[in-house]
Each structure stands twice: as structure tokens, then as C-alpha cells.
Amino acid sequence: MVYNIRMNVLLYGAGAVGLGLASCLLKHGERVDLIAREETVVALQQHGLQRTGIFGEHTAAPESFGAYLSLSDLPENEYDYLLVCTKSFDTRTAAEQIAAIPFLNNASTPIVLCQNGWGNAEIFAEHFPKHRIKSGRVITGFRRPQKHQVDITVHADAIHLGSLFSDDVSDLEKLSAAIDAGGIPCEVTQSISKDLWAKMLYNCMLNALSTINDVHYGALGESTETRQVMEEVAREVVAVMTAAGYNTHWASAEDYIDTFYKHQLPPTYNHEPSMLQDIRAGKRTEIDALNGAVVALGQQHAIPTPANTELSSKIRFMESDINPK
């Protein structure tokens, strides 16, 4: 279906994922406003937004979109969509800040969480009606060479948009069509919960272990020792997920592990996770929303998670070494 009415879209967070999604929307001709940190705002206002990588190049001139330091600086536009593209540890701050802006809080605008990990939607549900809260599953690889640039490096599957709280996802069709037409395949789904847990499996198996060993994904699949750790992580994730009342696209952990080695790891063999990039840059990671979230859910449901616990502890140690208290 083709949509010809130009939309207003607000993106809260202009890291690599936010810039990647914004590039698609701008290429399709949508009106876009971005909330970003000061260095990013300055770079975007000076140079525009530049995209490179596997889905082609696109440059949006500085005057073709808005870049703002704070939500309070925004014009009181009526937005068709609000995309949250922050790190998961900033989810609560994002929800509180958006809720504090009357014209955003009182609107009916869908809020689409394009973040890693599990638990983000529940935090937003503390501040907004559940029917407004949507989720996006993004398993495309982005990196940001400069503050105003995004490079798309790898793509495992289409972006999926849906809701954890409602079967009615028709209000996401226009956004999906715009992202898709702007360069990155995108689909609306009624099974976003299954998609998010599938991503949890993938990320929990790879990200922390890759970061601890300072290697790309593919190296983990070449070693018997790391394969054993990854497989135990997957079994724990499935056990916790099932105990919490969720499921995914595979009937068992073993079924997923087979798919992982045959179909998911090979296309991303040379990829390095954002967690590793964060540690190298001396930044906080999203471990609490990935392996850490599995550990927390395991504790709630009395499911032991020794492999996820060990990986979480090691990443937190690496963070503390970078940012000692």
C-alpha cells in the first residue's frame, strides 16, 4: 500500500539506530525532528544527516529536518509517530521527559520503542496508556563514524513493528511503509513478543561474550568453549521466557540453537556488537536489559541462570573498571 500524505515524526535519541531510521524517513519525504545530545545537534545542523552502507547513500540537508537538544525546545507539532531510540538504560528518563511535555503526553501519538533488550515497554506503561506503546525489533547493524553520519553495516531481517499490549497494529502501517520505502525493509507484525524474545536469544548468546573476549561474532562460533557457553545461555533464556509466560518462534532451545548456527550467525560473522563498541569508548552498556534481564526474570520465577549471571557480572566489572565509583 502506498501512502502519499507527509507525516511528522519525532525521534528521541539520535545515536546510530536513530539516525538510521531518520535517514529512511527523510529519504521518503517525511518531516522529521530529532532530539539529540549537544555535539550531535551541532553536527547535524552544520552538515546534515549522511547515510552510507549496504542500503545505499543518502544525504539530508540541515534545513530538511529539525535537531533539538531538549523536548522543551520543540515546536508544538502534532506528531504522527514518536520513535524512542535511546539505550535501554535511558528508557525511564526518556519516558519521564516525554510525559512531562503536555502536548506530547496528551496526544494519541503512537510511541514506538526501537531499543535493545526486554522491559522497555513496561517502563513506558507506567507513564502512558498501553494502547500508545508499540515496539520495534531492529536487527540491522548500524555504526556512527561521526556524529552526523550513520553507516549500515549488516542486515539480518526486516525491522518488525508491533505491540505487546494489543492485537490492533494497523496504526503502524504508515510508519512501516515509510521506513521500507526509505531503504530498510520493514514490516508490521502481530507477533512482536516472539520477535523480541528471538532477538534476546541472539543478543544474549553473542553480545556479552563477544565483548568479554574482544572478538567479532564469528570467532565465538569457531570455538568449542564459547559455543558451549552460548548454548547454555540459550537454554536459560528459553527456560526463563517460558516461565514468564512468553514464547518465540522455535519449539525448544535446541531448535533455536540449530537455526542460530545454520542461518543467523553466518550473515553476521564479522559483526561487532554495540556493547563491545561501548566498552571500547568507555561507555555504559545495555547488559541490564539483556543477560541482566534474563537473570532478573529468572530470580522472579525461581529459574537458575548461572551462565547469564556470569556474563552479566563480567560486563559490569568491565564497566566499573572504566568508570570506577
Strand ordering across the sheet containing 49-53: 58-60, 49-53, 149-155, 140-143
154: β partners: 141
Q: Assess whether 84 and 186 both reside in one domain.
A: yes
| Positive or negative torsion for Cα 147, 152, 156, 158 | positive
pTM of the model: 0.93
Query: Does any domain span residue 181?
Result: yes
Local confidence band at 325 (pLDDT 50, 70, 90 cut-offs): very low
**Phi/psi class of residue 48: alpha, beta or left (left: φ > 0; alpha: ψ in -120 to 50)?**
left
Domain with 31, as residue range(s), is 8-190
Q: Assess whether 251 and 214 both reside in one domain.
A: yes
For residues 311-323, average pLDDT: 89
Q: Round to whole Å and give the CA distance between 115 and 87.
A: 6
Q: Assess whether 148 and 241 both reside in one domain.
A: no
Strand ordering across the sheet containing 159-162: 66-68, 31-35, 8-12, 81-84, 111-113, 133-137, 159-162, 186-188
For residues 208-235, average pLDDT: 97
Confidence check: pLDDT of 2 > 70: no
Query: Does any domain span residue 81?
Result: yes
Domain boundary among 142, 175, 190: 190
Percentage of the residues of the chain whose pLDDT score is greater than 90: 91
> By the 8 A CB rule, do 158 and 187 touch?
yes
How does pLDDT run across 103-149, given as a tens digit for each residue?
Answer: 999 989 999 999 999 999 999 999 999 999 999 999 898 999 999 99
Query: Does any domain span residue 2?
Result: no
Q: Assess whether 204 and 84 both reside in one domain.
A: no
Local confidence band at 323 (pLDDT 50, 70, 90 cut-offs): low
| Chain mean pLDDT for the chain | 95
> By the 8 A CB rule, do 161 and 189 touch?
yes
Q: Assess whether 228 and 185 both reside in one domain.
A: no
The total domain count for the chain is 2
Query: Does any domain span residue 214?
Result: yes
